Amino acid sequence: MLIKADYLTLGIESSCDETAVAIFSEREGLIAHQLHSQIKTHFDYGGVVPELASRDHIKYGLPLLKRSLDEANLVVSDIDGIAYTKGPGLAGALLSGSALAKSLAFGLGIPSLGVHHLEGHLLSPFLEYQKPSFPFLSLLVSGGHTILLVANGLGDYQLLGQSLDDAVGEAFDKVAKLIGLGYPGGAELAKLALDGRAGLFNFPRPMLNKDNLDFSFSGLKTFVRNVFLDLKNPNRQDLADIAYEFEQAVGDVLTSKTEKALVQNNLQQLVVSGGVSANKTLRAKIDKMGAQLGVQTFYPRFEFCTDNAAMIALVGHLYLQQGKKDASDDIIVNPSWEL
Ligand code: KG4
Ligand code: ZN
């Protein structure tokens, strides 16, 4: 049973195709998280339709809020602060969530704070029992970003490298689409790769020999496309072999650059997060490398690799506790916000 000395932060996520609400308690950590996935809404279109995403966020925001409050046995007036995803993401989708957050905060007379979606992913392992501590290296791998950075403290992030073209999740999704898998493709491709065989294809490992910590996945994607088009009547085994080799190539590149960054910056802790951190082949490669270097590796639990409100509630909570809050009641989003 909560007593009121607690500080309760409501989190709302609506940057893309998941509508989510969560509650983070100062005393007890995460006490509620609810999510509505829009996969069914967008499936027939083969990707996210922004207008449909916004409408779903509006439709599911309040029911998810109610379910979160019920889950934590609270009423809305118990909430002390509200965090919402301010960007980056789809403009209309962000506006749906921020409008809900700002109206609630205004009505309740409590502070609100727009949170950076990527900072949510970056700090999501802090929702787990075993937490990293600053400083650590972060490999952030999502549908929109591939970033290596050093996290020195809350809000103190030093960019080391990033993708010069496609994000790694985007490359997964595009290759998945190419070989006829549905949306969202990353997890489907990973499933198919389980039946793939080693040594049947030889895909490039882009940027591995470059001295920097940047990535590039569009050349690999084109290479896979050409291999696929050269196959006359590919059967399921061919597609599984392609999926396998693609996953290996991506995993090798991400792991090798991460290793370089750990050594160069002499860091003993590594956080891997974002949607692609759910990939088990990547995790196996990273874990092996981490063990060889004596580096401790942290991931979010699988359900918090992809978009969720728990990470937004957590990050909002950390900043609200420091007294940070939105300067005005205006509903402002930032679809291309840089971390
Ligand atoms: O972090 P996220 O939910 O959304 C963004 O902020 O972008 O990441 C979504 C991305 C998608 O590209 C999806 O295909 C990919 O994460 N993804 C995966 C897996 N699960 C999700 N990629 C590879 N393997 C997976 N198991
Ligand atoms: Zn995300």
Residue 100 in contact with residue 79, Cβ under 8 Å? no
Angle at 247 between CA 246 and CA 251, to 5 degrees: 120
Q: What distance in Å separates the CA atoms of residue 103 and residue 330, rounded to the nearest whole number?
A: 10
Q: What is the pLDDT of residue 3?
A: 53
Residue 309's pLDDT band (boundaries 50, 70, 90)?
A: very high
Ligand 1 within 6 A of 184 CB? yes
Ligand 1 within 6 A of 289 CB? no
**Which ligand has the minimum distance to the alpha carbon of residue 171?**
1
Ligand 1 within 6 A of 290 CB? no
Ligand 1 atom closest to residue 121's alpha carbon, by position in its atom list: 1
- H helices then E strands: how many in the chain? 10, 10
Q: How far is CA 55 from the centre of its chain?
A: 22
Instruction: Give mean pLDDT, residues 72-88.
Output: 98
Which 3 state secondary structure label does DSSP give 247? helix
Instruction: Give mean pLDDT, residues 260-265.
Output: 98
**For the stretch 128-139, what's the b/e string if a residue is b when 16 or more beta carbons lie within 10 angstroms of its beta carbon?**
eeeebeebbbbb
Pocket probe for ligand 1: among 142, 217, 248, 273, the residue whose CB has the most ligand atoms within 8 Å is 142
Instruction: Give mean pLDDT, residues 246-268.
Output: 98
Which 3 state secondary structure label does DSSP give 239? helix
Residue 182's pLDDT band (boundaries 50, 70, 90)?
A: confident
Ligand 1 atom closest to residue 18's alpha carbon, by position in its atom list: 3
Residue 4's pLDDT band (boundaries 50, 70, 90)?
A: low
- Using a pLDDT cut of 90, give the percent of the chain over it: 95
Instruction: Give mean pLDDT, residues 79-108.
Output: 98
